[in-house]
Structure formats: structure tokens, C-alpha cells
Amino acid sequence: MFKDMAPRKKGIIYLLISAFAFAVMALFINLAGDMPVFMKAFFRNVVACIITIPMLIRSPEKFHMKKGSFKYLFLRAAFGTVGIICNFYAISKINIADALILNKLSPFFAIIASIFVLKEIANGHQWLAIITALIGAVFVIKPTFLLGGMSSEGVFPGIIGFIGGATAGIAYTFLRKLSLNGERKALIVAFFSAFSCIACIPFIIATYQPVTIAQLLCCIGAGIAACTGQFTITAAYAACPAKEISVYDYSTVIFAAILGMLFLGEVPDYLSIIGYVIIIGSSVYAFLYNNGYFDRIPKPWIKKDP
């Protein structure tokens, strides 16, 4: 489709498609209504299983995993499952744009988790971005004891969304560990999807309620959108290094805000918008630092040796 296109441009287009797909996923999850969040997570991952497991069956290596991968596959799947459930709960209770921006805190938590998992020490610039992003999260969650304006019923889903972003960041750290070990992406996705489905079954039984055809169709739509997002984000980072295009992933918040206004009548309040600006600004700062833009700024106060 983009055969003759420059790698960076191709990566940006794929990433924008992915961002829109994840915003559509959030819309479908919200439209599924009051069905238990575990059922929403189950159906979202069933679609991924249907797509990825046949891919593994047709591959020469089948379900073979590399030595030492199982532990990290399990941890990636466990934290990822918690992240999805928390994210879906938040999407069902608060503005989808608010829920997605809290989920987009995951890269900052990945930096923290990398200290322990990958032994990568964060520098001052990264810590500044993390602290600033957390301040932005306060504006989105709007705890009454700090900002006022939101009831406790709104704060709790925001906190759950925040936890979802944190656990997703930890999951992405284990995903990177698996990638560094050379594990196949299809196996990682299939293991995660199957694990998540199995983990949700006991909770589905405990919270079971009848599902309408409309709710089922919304969940299937969410699964298809999520798979589209997953495959296009993989294609984006395969086409171009993450540090050159990752900032465009935050466009999903813009797409979610537009879809929320069009289909759900959701309008982010001014505190949420301030939070979006702070969190996205933190990401832009990290993006500029990672790409060396600050090194290109003239520093007249630094005298060079003659």
C-alpha cells in the first residue's frame, strides 16, 4: 500500500491509523453499555485469538517459544490483562478521551519499570517528563481534595484508569524484554490474548448477565478495531524507529474526543483539557529530547575553547 513511500512518512500514517482504530475500540466498548467489563475484555481478546492462533499454526515454528521466554510471556500477559480490564472499566464510566489519555501514561511507567526489569537508569530529562505527566493525570482524574468539581463516583474510575496505564506500562516493559530476546510478535500476541480470555472466565461466571445482540456486536467491533490497531502500530514501528514517530500515537486522544462528542455527547471539561495538554506536552518534551533536538539549540552561554 505504501511501498514507495519514505519510511518515516509510512510510519506516521500507520501510527495515525492505529490511533484511530484504538479510539474506535474505546467507542465500541462504551457503546456496549453496562455489560460486565470482564465480558468486554474476553470478547476483545477472542477476536485476537481467532486471528493470531491460525497464524502460528501455519508458521514453521508453531507454538514453540524461545528458552526463558515463558516467565516474561506470563508477566506481560498478567499485567496486560489487568491493564485492559482497568482501561475498559474507565472507558465505560468516564469520557473515552479521559480514559485513553490516562492509558497513555504507560510509556512513562515503562521508563520506571525498565529500571528494575531492563536495568536501564532514567536520566533527569526522563524523570522531569514522568513527574510532569503525573501532574497532568491529576487534572484528568480531578480528585475532590485537590481540584474539586468531580464527585467520588468520577474519581474512582479515573484512578482505575490511572492504574490501567501503570500496569500497561509494566506490560510493555516485559514486551520489550521479549523482543530483545528475539521472541516472535505473533506468539506474544497469541499468548497474551489466550491468557486474558482464560483469566476472565471465572469472573464472567461470577458476574454473568445476559448479553444482547447489539452488545455482542459492539464487543466484536471493539475486537476488530483493537486488532487493526495492534497490527498497524506494529507496522509503524517496523517501518520507522519508535523515537522518531511515537509522539503521533497521542492523536488517539484527539480522535477519541471527536468520536465521544459525535456519538456520545461527551465534551471534556477545562480541567481534562489542561491535563491532556500537560501529558501530551510531557511526551513531546521526551520526544524532542530522545531525538536530540535540544542538542541543536545554540548555547551562547557556553564558551568554546579557542
- Three-state SS letters, the chain: CCCCCCHHHHHHHHHHHHHHHHHHHHHHHHHCCCCCHHHHHHHHHHHHHHHHHHHHHHCCCCCCCCCCHHHHHHHHHHHHHHHHHHHHHHHHHCCHHHHHHHHCCHHHHHHHHHHHHCCCCCCHHHHHHHHHHHHHHHHHHCCCCCCCCCCHHHHHHHHHHHHHHHHHHHHHHHHHHHHHCCCCHHHHHHHHHHHHHHHHHHHHHHCCCCCCHHHHHHHHHHHHHHHHHHHHHHHHHHHCCHHHHHHHHHHHHHHHHHHHHHHHCCCCCHHHHHHHHHHHHHHHHHHHHHCCCHHHCCCCCCCCCC
* C-alpha closest to that of 78 among 186, 174, 211: 174
CA dist 124 and 130 (Å) reads 10
Tell me if 60 is assigned to some domain.
no
User: How many CA within 13 A on the CB side of residue 215?
Assistant: 15
Over residues 205-246, the pLDDT tens digits come to: 999 989 999 999 999 999 999 989 888 887 887 787 776 788
Tell me if 82 is assigned to some domain.
yes
Q: What is the rounded radius of gyration, in angstroms, for the C-alpha atoms of the chain?
A: 20
Tell me if 263 is assigned to some domain.
no
CA dist 219 and 157 (Å) reads 20
Tell me if 4 is assigned to some domain.
no
The rounded Cα 24 to chain-centroid distance in angstroms is 13
CA dist 110 and 127 (Å) reads 12
Tell me if 172 is assigned to some domain.
yes
The full 3-state SS of 12-62, as one line of letters, equals: HHHHHHHHHHHHHHHHHHHHCCCCCHHHHHHHHHHHHHHHHHHHHHHCCCC
- pLDDT score of 7 more than 80: yes
- Report the pLDDT value the prediction gives residue 200, as an integer from 0 to 100: 96
Range of the domain at 145: 66-181+269-306
Q: Which residues of 181-208 are buried (b: 16+ CB within 10 A; e: fewer)?
A: eebbbbbbbbbbbbbbbebbeebbeeee
CA dist 301 and 142 (Å) reads 41
- Report the pLDDT value the prediction gives residue 147, as an integer from 0 to 100: 54
Tell me if 204 is assigned to some domain.
no
Global pTM reads 0.88
The rounded percent of the chain whose pLDDT value lies above 70 is 92
Tell me if 140 is assigned to some domain.
yes
* C-alpha closest to that of 282 among 82, 21, 106: 106
Band (281; pLDDT cuts 50, 70, 90): very high
- pLDDT score of 4 more than 80: no
Number of domains the chain contains: 1
Tell me if 301 is assigned to some domain.
yes
- Report the pLDDT value the prediction gives residue 247, as an integer from 0 to 100: 85
Query: Roughly what angle, to the nearest 10 degrees, separates helices 69-93 and 37-58?
Result: 140
Over residues 113-167, the pLDDT tens digits come to: 999 998 988 889 889 999 999 999 999 988 765 555 445 566 889 999 999 999 9
Q: Please, what is the Cα angle at 25 between 19 and 28, to 5 degrees?
A: 145
Average pLDDT value for the chain? 88
